[in-house]
A and B are shown apart, each in its own frame.
Chain A
Amino acid sequence: GNSVTQMEGPVTLSEEAFLTINCTYTATGYPSLFWYVQYPGEGLQLLLKATKADDKGSNKGFEATYRKETTSFHLEKGSVQVSDSAVYFCALNDYKLSFGAGTTVTVRA
């Protein structure tokens, strides 16, 4: 079946550092790929998405590219802020979402 493997956390960074969270997937066909974010005390929010190979999703300075050849969708941000502290989930959508384990990111001032 479809599955997502996500880099384990927690990740602790200083402000303005570069963030990357690895995500790989196993799927039949070419599902859409998503990154969701969960801020403390809140629900899951869509951060970005890509619907086909080589698409790049971007939002709030975050980027991820759908790589069919490596079955990956790694999340990157060039300069993190304290407000980026959250749990990040990689997911694929085959009419239901299959999530990775989540990566807790803490950014220190």
Chain B
Amino acid sequence: EPEVTQTPSHQVTQMGQEVILRCVPISNHLYFYWYRQILGQKVEFLVSFYNNEISEKSEIFDDQFSVERPDGSNFTLKIRSTKLEDSAMYFCASSREIAGEDEQFFGPGTRLTVL
């Protein structure tokens, strides 16, 4: 069964450093998403991406964040200068359609720890 994969599973970085979180969505999906979950809090939407551009982004997704689909398979989230409050679990998801009833398939997550 196809699945979304994410690497690394755990990333530890120093405050102010850049990190890139990687995701491989399901191959025939067209819509891609990043969510994050700070420990003990809700899963929060960050950004959606379609046709090589951002479709929608939340208030969390400020200038420190960027997304890219550098090739036909990977989808990345970059944080330019990490802050302590960026420590969270980051989930990538993909879906075939953008329609509201379509299922989003989630990866296992990357736990980011900023020291």
Which chain B positions have C-beta within 8 A of A100?
42
B33 in contact (CB, < 8 A): yes
Which chain B positions have C-beta within 8 A of A31?
100
| Interface flags, A76-108, vs B, CB<8A=1, else 0 | 000000000000010001111111111000000
**CB <8 Å contact, B56 and A96:** yes
Stretch from B14-22, B70-78, B103-111 at the A interface? B103-111
> A97 and B45 in contact (CB under 8 A), knowing A42-B108, A43-B109, A45-B106?
yes
Chain B interface residue number, banded? 20 to 34
Q: How far is the CA of A100 from the CA of B44 in the complex (A)?
A: 9
> A49 and B101 in contact (CB under 8 A), knowing A43-B91, A43-B107, A44-B91?
yes
B65 in contact (CB, < 8 A): no
8 Å CB interface, B89-104 against A: 91, 93, 98, 100-104
Chain A interface residue number, banded? 20 to 34
Which chain B positions have C-beta within 8 A of A36?
106
Which chain B positions have C-beta within 8 A of A20?
none
Q: How far is the CA of A34 from the CA of B41 in the complex (A)?
A: 19
**CB <8 Å contact, B103 and A95:** no
Additional A-B contact list (4), CB under 8 Å, known A51-B100, A102-B42: A93-B101, A94-B100, A97-B33, A101-B41
> A43 and B4 in contact (CB under 8 A), knowing A94-B100, A97-B104?
yes
A17 in contact (CB, < 8 A): no
Q: Out of B43, B105, B106, which one reaches A102, CB within 8 Å?
A: B43
